[in-house]
Structure 1
Amino acid sequence: MISKAKISSVKPVPGKHALQVEFDNGKRYDVDLREHIRQFLVLRLLKDLSLFGTAQVGEWGFGVSWGDNLEPAAVTLYRLALEQADEVMTG
């Protein structure tokens, strides 16, 4: 169920604004965040690839964190992952 998505691991894709994200359901996706960063001003600091590369799993797996309140939620990343993979969202 998407509303209970949790992240078990995250790895920045070198040289890109993308993450390899593994969710606690065992599914792994590459998630491109370029458009998301462009769309939301609060994330504009993530245009800096050196900062973007410091991504870590947020507290309890409920998001990805870069500190300074830069923490997209796991459900948001799961939705983006499914959209980008052309998979159907449920829940």
Structure 2
Amino acid sequence: MENYPRIKYLEPLPGYRLFIIFDNGDIKVYSLAERLQTPAFRALQDESLFITAHIANGGYGVIWNDDIDLSEYELWQKGVEVSNVNELVAKVA
């Protein structure tokens, strides 16, 4: 079984995005905009729920509640990598 980077730091951002730092040093921004249209993630359109995102034990994903979560693999594979400070500022603004 392949090991994927685990989540070390998480910050919910405006626009239903997540700022994530992984334990291998990768920094990514993951957008949930498309997922919010699916039944499983529709509840996250409530911003007060979205901002409660927190790291699962061991960094193996992001959890909102007992019903809504995302794996570290999904976030690492589909997140947009941030490679410099200017790019980071543009993505979080």
Same fold at TM > 0.5: yes
- Measured in 1, the distance between the counterparts of 2:29 and 2:41 equals 19
Q: How many residues align?
A: 80
The structure where strand makes up a greater share of residues is 2
Q: Per-residue CA shift, 1:9-33, capped at 9, x if unaligned? A: 10001x3200101111111111111
Q: Which runs of 5+ in 1 are unaligned?
A: 86-91
Alignment of 1:1-91 (within 5 A): 3-13=3-13, 15-38=14-37, 40-81=38-79, 84-85=80-81
Contact 1:7–1:57 (8 Å) recurs in 2: yes
Q: Percent identity?
A: 29
| Aligned residue type for 1:79 | Q
Q: Which runs of 5+ in 2 are unaligned?
A: 82-93
Give the 4+ runs in structure 1 shifted more than 3 A: none
Q: Per-residue CA shift, 1:26-65, capped at 9, x if unaligned? A: 1111111111222x32111111111101111112111001
| Aligned residue type for 2:30 | V
Aligned position for 2:91: none
TM-score (norm 2): 0.76
TM-score (norm 1): 0.78
